[in-house]
A and B are shown apart, each in its own frame.
Chain A
Amino acid sequence: MAAKAGYLAVVQINNTTYTTVGGLKTADLQIGTDLYDITTLAGDGWKTKLPGLADYTLKLGGNFDLSDAQQAMLQAAVITVPGLAVDWKIYPAGTGAGAPFYAGTCFIKTEGIKFDVKNEEQVSFDLEGNGAITYSTGA
């Protein structure tokens, strides 16, 4: 399978309609399942595990720009209405017809804003999943 260029990705949030978040440079989605160690003393030297609950996190980063309505909404979900659930989609290869995407609902745990006298202002949002993440094609 051929590699895909990272710049093809599109990150959208549901701001009345799903709309692209402007100014982003990175989107880091981490999906996993808790694994419990249930190794017994009488084992053969290898750990054994019991799967627990599934979870994911999403970290967005880029240029700080509150003139972008979606960035403003993400910030509002931290400052104005803390705990506001945000629906999101990430298209790994653009939003063309039938393009696959990840989707879910998150709470925003942290907004980070970096002011550096030698660089452009930068923002990051750490989101934590609320419910399942899905991967589907089209629509």
Chain B
Amino acid sequence: MTAYTSHDEVQTAMYNILCPGGNVDPVLAGLGVTGVFDWQSVPQNQPYDYITIGDGYEIPQDTFDSAGFLYFPTMHIWSRQKNTKNPSLMINRANQFFNRQSLELESLKSVYSIIYRINWLDGGDGLTLHVAAQYQCYSSQT
């Protein structure tokens, strides 16, 4: 049974791009990213910086003859680097993957993926920068 949501397919595509073959994209790794995780599966004592995915929200965009989904996944960068130079380059790399692109989805047709907004936030502990990059991904069944 096909799920009436694009959540899993988009999240899987994002992970496969950020972490091809289970290894962090070499450019992101060169900028200091040590891992990409589902938000609820970050290992204890995981070294910074790392990326979490897995959350987002979705708005149905059906046509009369087909299901469609407008999905807004958020990619989170958790960084303890001294300034925002490398996190900015991480965002740049992510935008190469997810802005003005089509995603490789398992069963849905990806119409587009574009950047929606980026929040630069206090990570809450006085040490960590939290960059939340939200993308807008439109996909349909046909």
Contacts and interface: CB of A to CB of B under 8 A. Distances in A.
Interface of A: 7, 9-11, 20, 22-25, 27, 62-63, 117-120
A11 B64 contact: yes
Contacts of B65: 10, 20, 22-24
Contacts of A27: 64
B114 interface: yes
12 contacts: A9-B64, A10-B64, A20-B65, A22-B65, A22-B66, A24-B63, A25-B62, A27-B64, A62-B63, A63-B63, A120-B111, A120-B112
A32 to B, nearest CB: 24
A118 B114 contact: yes
B142 interface: yes
A139 to B, nearest CB: 21
B71 interface: no
Interface of B: 62-66, 68, 111-112, 114, 136, 138, 140, 142
Given A118-B114, A120-B111, A120-B112, A7 B138 contact: no
A93 B128 CA distance: 55
A11 B140 CA distance: 19
Contact of A23 (B63, B112, B138): B63
A11 B63 CA distance: 11
A9 B65 CA distance: 9
Contacts of A25: 62-64
- Which of B64, B65, B114, B140 is packed against the most chain A CB atoms within 10 Å? B64
A120 B63 contact: no
Nearest to A24: B64
Given A7-B62, A27-B64, 16 more contacts: A7-B64, A10-B64, A11-B64, A22-B63, A22-B66, A22-B142, A23-B66, A25-B63, A62-B63, A63-B68, A117-B114, A118-B114, A118-B136, A119-B138, A120-B111, A120-B112
Contacts of B68: 63
Contacts of B114: 117-118
A124 B21 CA distance: 44
A118 B63 CA distance: 19
Nearest to A63: B63
Contacts of A20: 64-65
